[in-house]
Structure 1
Amino acid sequence: MRTIFLALSAALLASACAPKTDLSEIDASSGELQVFAASPDEKIRIVGSSTVSPFSTTVAEQFGAVSEFPTPIVETTGTGGGFQAFCQGIGPKEPSISNASRPVKASELALCERQGVTEIVEVKIGYDGIVLANAKGSPTMDITKEEIYRALAEELPDGNGGWQDNPNETWQDVADHLPDMPILVSGPPPTSGTRDAFAELAMEGGAEEVPEVAALKESNRDEFGRRATTIRMDGKWIDSGENDTAIVQTLMKNPDSIGIMGFSFLEQNLDRLKGASIGGLEPSFENIASGDYGISRSMFFYVKKQNVNLVPGLTDFISEFTQEDAWGPTGYLVEKGLIPLQEAERTAVREKALELQTMDAAES
């Protein structure tokens, strides 16, 4: 008996002293990763957009409550910061999901590929609007995209074929019907998908209404993009970080200030905030869902397929997020401000997501 005990002890000691496999040394393009099992208490790590984060957090809490898997960890890094982290490598310690309030860029896919992250599943989850919000007691605004551009662009045409620093100090300087209060806008930083979408949808959309700037789109597209999306840095715009709560706090302290945020976050703070109308249309569920609201966008999360066999519950989390009780018209995410996809699109997106169709496969 003592001999058997000693033999077992020696075997256990040898196992404990065996060298650990470094996932970073494994060829990510091979199937070799699939032979390594993660600890059953390994948590799904999610990074990315502050706009999508409330939806992911809600699903994560539900998932942790009803499934056999631990509640995923959701970290708000901004869309750009999320892709930076997501693309760093493969393994249970790396993010498995990146939330995004815009589509992934080609440069971000190239970064992922350089780090061996080559199988990515795109999941479109719904729509959101970008709103210009202010405190409830502040003046109500109805503004066009051209007026947004004229208020926030770094330079404007000078009327003589050249350019001048933006001279507008108040909203009334931009248009007579706007309130006589200083232009002071708190918005997300350049790493934010909300900032990207605001620049593309509001600033570029407004620039196209200014003849001198619109002309550049035909003659010099790069120059048009720079002129259209470069936001003034003379104190009229303040980068307020990735946390929309900080913007709300600024609006509460300064009733003259405007905040740029997602509609879903406005919905959560309607007791304190109101949103400006864009071209006569208020930011509402119906106007954004119909596509009539002028500054609306799609939202996504991206899944690292190579982590599916390394992180327990990853496909189950995708299933929870894309089930009708979550993202459907009467699902629990609608209560958080999600504007759902149409039924046929929801069905198609869920099917591709559960089949783990990668972006290349889906596009080919």
Structure 2
Amino acid sequence: MSATPSRALTAAAAGFALAACLGASPAQAARDYVWAAGSSTVFPFATRVSEQFARKTGMKAPKIESLGTGGGIKLFCSGVGDGFPDIATASRQMKRSEFDACAAKGVKEIIELKIGFDGIVVAIDKDGPDYALSPSTLYLGLASKVLRYGKYETNPYKTWAEVGAGLPRNRILVYGPPPSSGTRDAFVELAIEAGALKYPANKALKDKDERRFKEMVHPLRKDGWIDAGENDNAIVQTLTKTPGAIGVFGWSFLEENMDKVKGAPMNGVRPSLASISDGSYPLSRSLFIYVKKSNLGVTKGLREYVAEFVSDAATGRGGYLKDRGLIPLPAAQHEANKAAVRTLTPMGRPAA
């Protein structure tokens, strides 16, 4: 009876030895497909690369999930092994708290790759009235509390005309992404916070107590902002059926639907490829993918998929992702991405 346990132990030892040779723990049994999860904005780009990767290699197309940046990073950081994604897609940089959560679960070497630029657009139905907006009017229209006469009050404004001269008399009704979305995070930072900081009292509060400033400024009103989920196409459809409504989503969805919706100018600058890439459009941002270094060489196709993502064919100046709405990086940054994939240099701990 003792021979069977002995053979089992020998087999187990052999399995551990093989895993060690592959640079993975036994929990990291090789999956035969790549798994990426995260940003709804990066989703169409990651999906397009997945299709091209499968066509070129004959391997299974990677599994791409749209969970929002926060949701994707949380799942990515939840552990190692094939029960967790190889890649987190993000429409903002990973936060220090997220990086630390990764480390606590054993995800300790992460490769950060900026893949291009995107703009956050404030869109309206193509046949609707124009909105000449600014971060200040977005703060006054959408923040849950606004600064009035030196005090923070529950937002009293009901129509855009009350917020700024020359704006339509339509009621404030905005469809946008939920809190788990990087688009939501970026919109709050680039629009709401930037608008709030035009007021000296808000700037003074931020300088004195940033946490308190965010508590007062970041929450969005619940009677004018509607969380519309991670499906940006659904927001586009809503705008065509709801006169006067506004939508918030990534540039690529505006570009794909210019027959249905139009982007509102921000500080007099309309969103476009040129204005987003040169930074003149105020609500522009960078897009990222985060890769577990430990999974390279373990998950079948991961190295090849990442290489395809940073290739000239995909994210170069004339790459196929440009046709999907991605705004390419400057040549030097694009070349640095390709070098990072070759050297596999992990990112450092974020500053904030």
Normalised to the residue count of structure 1, the TM-score between the two structures is 0.88
Q: How many Å separate the matches in 1 of 2:141 and 2:318?
A: 39
Q: Residue 163 of structure 1 aligns to which amino acid in structure 2?
A: Y
2:128 paired residue among 127, 132, 138: 138
Q: Does 1:33 align with 2:21?
A: no
Q: Deviations over 1:139-196 (max 9, x none)?
A: 111111101101011112231x322211110010001211110100011111110010
Shift of 1:35: 11
The normalised TM-score by structure 2 is 0.91
Task: Give the aligned partner of residue 312 of structure 1.
Answer: 300
Q: 1:163 to 1:331 in 2, by over 3 A?
A: same
Residue of structure 2 equivalent to 1:152 = 142
Q: Which residue of 1 aligns with 2:348?
A: 360
Structure 1 segments of 4+ aligned residues over 4 angstroms from their partners: 18-23, 34-37
Q: Secondary structure at the match of 1:278?
A: coil
| CA distance in 1: counterparts of 2:75 and 2:24, whole angstroms | 23
8 Å CA contact retained: 1:318, 1:354: no
The CA deviation at 1:137 is 1.2
Give the greater-gyration-radius structure (CA): 1
CA contact (8 A) 2:38 2:88 kept: yes
Query: Secondary structure at the residue paired with 2:214?
Result: helix
Letter in 2 for 1:113: A
Is the 1:125–1:327 contact (alpha carbons within 8 Å) kept by the matching residues of 2?
Answer: yes
Shift of 1:228: 2.3
> What residue is the counterpart of 1:3 in the other structure?
none
Indicate yes or no: 2:324 matched with 1:332.
no
Q: Distance in 2 between matches of 1:150 and 1:307?
A: 46
Q: Any residues of structure 2 matched to 1:95-106 within 5 Å, and which?
A: 95-106=85-96
1:190 aligned residue: 179
Say whether the 8 Å CA contact 2:28–2:80 is kept in structure 1. Answer: no
Corresponding residue for residue 303 of structure 1 = 291
Q: 2:229 aligns with which of 241, 244, 251?
A: 241
CA contact (8 A) 1:34 1:309 kept: no
Separation in 2, partners of 1:36, 1:269: 42
- Check whether the contact 2:119–2:285 (CA below 8 A) recurs between aligned residues: yes
Taking the TM superposition and a 5 Å limit, the aligned residue runs for 1:189-268 are 189-233=178-222, 235-268=223-256
The corresponding residue for 1:82 is: 72
In the aligned structure 2, how far is the partner of 1:104 from the partner of 1:358? 13
Could you tell me which amino acid in structure 1 is paired with residue 224 of structure 2?
A: K
Code of the residue aligned with 2:148 in structure 1: it is: D
Maintained 8 Å contact 1:92/1:310: no
Give the Å deviation of 1:37: 6.9
1:33 aligned counterpart, secondary structure: coil
Cα distance in 1 for residues equivalent to 2:34 and 2:267: 42
Measured in 2, the distance between the counterparts of 1:213 and 1:359 equals 33
Instruction: Measure the CA separation in 1 of the matches of 2:27 and 2:199.
Output: 59
1:174-221 CA-partner distances (Å, limit 9, x unpaired) = 012111101000111111100100111101110011232222122322
Residues 64-123 of structure 1 deviation map (CA, whole Å, 9 limit, x = unaligned): 001132111101000010011111222234210110000001111111111111110000
- Give the 3-state SS of the residue equivalent to 1:357 in structure 2: coil
Contact 1:121–1:358, Cα closer than 8 Å, also in 2? yes
Using the alignment, how far apart are the partners of 1:19 and 1:239 within structure 2?
50
Residue identity over aligned pairs, in percent, reads 44
Count of residues paired in the alignment: 342
Alpha-carbon RMSD: 2.6
Report the CA distance shift for 1:166/1:354 in structure 2 as closer, same or farther (over 3 A).
same
Q: Give the gaps of 5 or more residues in structure 2.
A: 1-6
How far did 1:36 drift? 7.4
When residues 50 and 308 of structure 1 are mapped into structure 2, their CA distance, relative to the original with a 3 A threshold, is: same
